[in-house]
Amino acid sequence: MGFTKYTSQAEKVRARMNEGIKSPEVRVIGPEGENFGVLPIREALARAQAAGLDLIEISPNAQPPVCKITDYGKFKYEQKKKDKEIKSKAHVTETKVTQVKIGTSERDMQIKAGKAAAWLKEGHRVRVDLFLWGRYKYMEYEFLKERLERFLAVIPEGFKIAEPIQKGLKGLSVSIERDTSKKTAPQKKAPEISASSEKA
């Protein structure tokens, strides 16, 4: 590779390079990670040119700035890789909520299960609420728990329990999150959460 002139491309990665470096002296890192110490900018540029590489400023706020002798294409690739990693780590996760009731139809169950699966794929945590009202609040816990687990069983995405089933003022709830070790399963037919076999 020839000695590349400072262009607007370098500005896109927010790094000065070659003649664009304004500091009279810089700390230089070699192409294999060697520490060449602090050098006058002319000597640093000469070393980069002799190696057929570029001198790229990687720590502009250091005193003096730190520059690396490297291939500009390789530098751009590494920058993109770092940006991608930072972006993935900065992904904001939310707790999404879906609600089912005793008597929720099969169609609505399928829709809600599909939506929960989509949220899990996006990396969000999902809280499933079994909303109870009136006499349903006083049914046996095991009966209600089984109704909530029926819904979990038809979610077509691998998940694990993040927070176990708990009973609150408005009903039962459970929180789940994606489990990448489990394979996505085809969506099953959702049974209606009915009270046909309710217990006194």
pLDDT at 10: 37
pLDDT tens profile 142-173: 999 999 999 999 999 999 999 999 998 899 99
pLDDT at 92: 67
pLDDT at 188: 55
pLDDT at 157: 92
What domains sit in the chain, N to C, each tagged with a CATH number?
8-87 (3.10.20.80), 95-178 (3.30.110.10)
In this structure, what token pair is assigned to residue 198? 């309710």
Helix (H) or strand (E) run with residue 58 in it: strand 54-59
Among candidate residues 164, 186, 191, the one with its CA nearest the CA of residue 175? 164
Q: How many CB atoms lie within 10 A of CB 94?
A: 11
How many angstroms separate the CA atoms of 29 and 64, rounded?
A: 13
Report, as ranges of residue numbers, the positions in the chain whose pLDDT lies below 50.
1-13, 196-200
pLDDT tens profile 8-32: 333 344 688 999 999 999 999 999 9
